């Protein structure tokens, strides 16, 4: 199977490439990954030319402008990338007969009346931010292709940039001897990019017949504050005691774009198809173990 990947240098794109290469069934599949340094996804001609030249069986579209507050202050840019980009990728897939797997977000929901077991795929979206609106618009475009999957996911971690990755930022703050400031009253499903990438491989293999919208995320709703407390416990009891995260309320966070207070996704549809991700605690423990064990400073010395 020939796989074309957008956003290849991003947090999820990097994890997806690694998972594909490591998968026994997929390691030899031709993979062509592109990022912003190759061309702007909003450049229709560039997208069409590149995808048509590779003739993929499937396109995994992860490229996005995914910084919520940036999208709020630059709505035209958000629309160009998150709506225009999907549109061009979808057009290329339609011309080429490629399956399209496109990544969307829990932020298509408003979190105002979250169902007890989380939002299901057919719950009605109502985004609060420019980012959420552009992701929902992208879903609507993708849905016009007969062979499409819109994958909604949430709160990714597992990357290398602490400005984008809360779990990494907690570890790095502890290593500097600083307390992380984390929101305690906003909830979703924290999701490890490596686990999400593995579930995207499921969609390319056993789940090859899946169509429509699916929710894929690690299990267990949490706030980032709760995740931060757990990360510090993994780093050691001393660290957890001395560098306990500072709880910040949703209203104190200084967000520009609106966010759902509780955008927990219901992942039962994919579970029924045989794809269940581990809990976020399991995922956070595995990711934290991959980080360099550099010294963590506490007042009692250095761990």
The residues binding ligand NAP (CB under 6 A) are 7-13, 35-37, 40-42, 62-66, 81, 103, 105, 135, 153-156, 164
Task: Identify which of residues 164 and 303 has a Cβ nearer to ligand NAP in the complex.
Answer: 164
Q: Are 100 and 147 in contact (CB under 8 A)?
A: yes
Task: Identify which of residues 37 and 294 has a Cβ nearer to ligand NAP in the complex.
Answer: 37
We find the least distance from the C-beta atom of residue 241 to ligand NAP, in angstroms, to be 29
Using CA atoms, how far residue 171 sits from 90, 114, 181, 217, 297, in Å, is 38, 31, 12, 22, 11
We find the least distance from the C-beta atom of residue 236 to ligand NAP, in angstroms, to be 27
Task: Identify which of residues 45 and 209 has a Cβ nearer to ligand NAP in the complex.
Answer: 45
Q: Which helix (H) or strand (E) holds 302?
A: strand 301-302
32 among known catalytic residues: no
**Per-residue tokens: 193:** 């990019």
d(CA 49, CA 149) in angstroms, rounded, equals 23
- CA 137 from chain center: how many Å? 17
We find the least distance from the C-beta atom of residue 81 to ligand NAP, in angstroms, to be 4
Please identify the residue of the shown chain whose CB is closest to the bound ligand NAP. Answer: 10
**Per-residue tokens: 94:** 């339609």
Q: Are 62 and 89 in contact (CB under 8 A)?
A: no
Among 123, 98, 276, 97, smallest CA distance to 202 is for: 276
Using CA atoms, how far residue 130 sits from 47, 71, 78, 151, 299, in Å, is 24, 6, 7, 19, 43
Among 280, 285, 289, smallest CA distance to 223 is for: 280
Catalytic: which of 119, 131, 225, 230? 131
Among 11, 75, 61, smallest CA distance to 33 is for: 61
Task: Identify which of residues 132 and 240 has a Cβ nearer to ligand NAP in the complex.
Answer: 132
Q: Are 153 and 219 in contact (CB under 8 A)?
A: no
Task: Identify which of residues 239 and 280 has a Cβ nearer to ligand NAP in the complex.
Answer: 280
We find the least distance from the C-beta atom of residue 65 to ligand NAP, in angstroms, to be 5
Task: Identify which of residues 37 and 292 has a Cβ nearer to ligand NAP in the complex.
Answer: 37
We find the least distance from the C-beta atom of residue 156 to ligand NAP, in angstroms, to be 4
Give the residue carrying structure tokens 């069409």: 48
Tell me the pairing of strands 99-105 and 58-61.
Answer: parallel
d(CA 100, CA 207) in angstroms, rounded, equals 13
We find the least distance from the C-beta atom of residue 86 to ligand NAP, in angstroms, to be 9
Indicate which residues carry an active-site annotation. 131
């Amino acid at each position: 199977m020939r796989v074309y990947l957008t956003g290849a240098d991003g947090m999820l794109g990097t994890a997806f490439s690694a998972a594909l290469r490591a998968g026994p069934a997929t390691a030899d599949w031709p993979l062509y990954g592109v990022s912003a340094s190759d061309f702007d996804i909003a450049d229709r001609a560039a997208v069409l030319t590149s995808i048509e030249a590779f003739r993929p069986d499937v396109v995994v579209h992860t490229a996005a402008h995914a910084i919520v507050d940036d999208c709020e202050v630059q709505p035209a840019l958000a629309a160009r990338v998150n709506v225009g980009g999907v549109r061009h990728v979808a057009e290329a897939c339609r011309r080429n007969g490629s399956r399209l797997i496109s990544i969307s977000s829990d932020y298509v929901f408003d979190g105002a009346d979250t169902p007890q077991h989380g939002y299901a795929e057919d719950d009605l979206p109502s985004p609060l931010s420019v980012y959420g609106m552009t992701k929902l618009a992208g879903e609507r475009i993708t849905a016009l292709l007969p062979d499409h999957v819109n994958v909604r996911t949430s709160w990714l971690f597992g990357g290398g940039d602490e400005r984008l990755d809360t779990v990494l930022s907690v570890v790095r703050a502890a290593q500097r001897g600083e307390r992380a400031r984390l929101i305690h009253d906003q909830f979703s499903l924290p999701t490890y990019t490596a686990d999400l990438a593995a579930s995207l491989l499921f969609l390319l293999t056993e789940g090859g017949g899946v169509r429509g919208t699916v929710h894929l995320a690690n299990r267990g709703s949490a706030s980032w504050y709760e995740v931060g407390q757990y990360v510090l416990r993994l780093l050691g009891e001393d660290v957890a005691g001395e560098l306990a995260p500072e709880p910040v309320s949703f209203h104190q966070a200084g967000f520009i774009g609106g966010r759902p207070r509780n955008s927990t996704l219901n992942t039962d549809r994919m579970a029924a198809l045989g794809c269940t991700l581990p809990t976020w605690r399991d995922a956070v423990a595995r990711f934290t173990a991959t980080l360099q064990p550099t010294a963590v400073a506490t007042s009692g010395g250095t761990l």
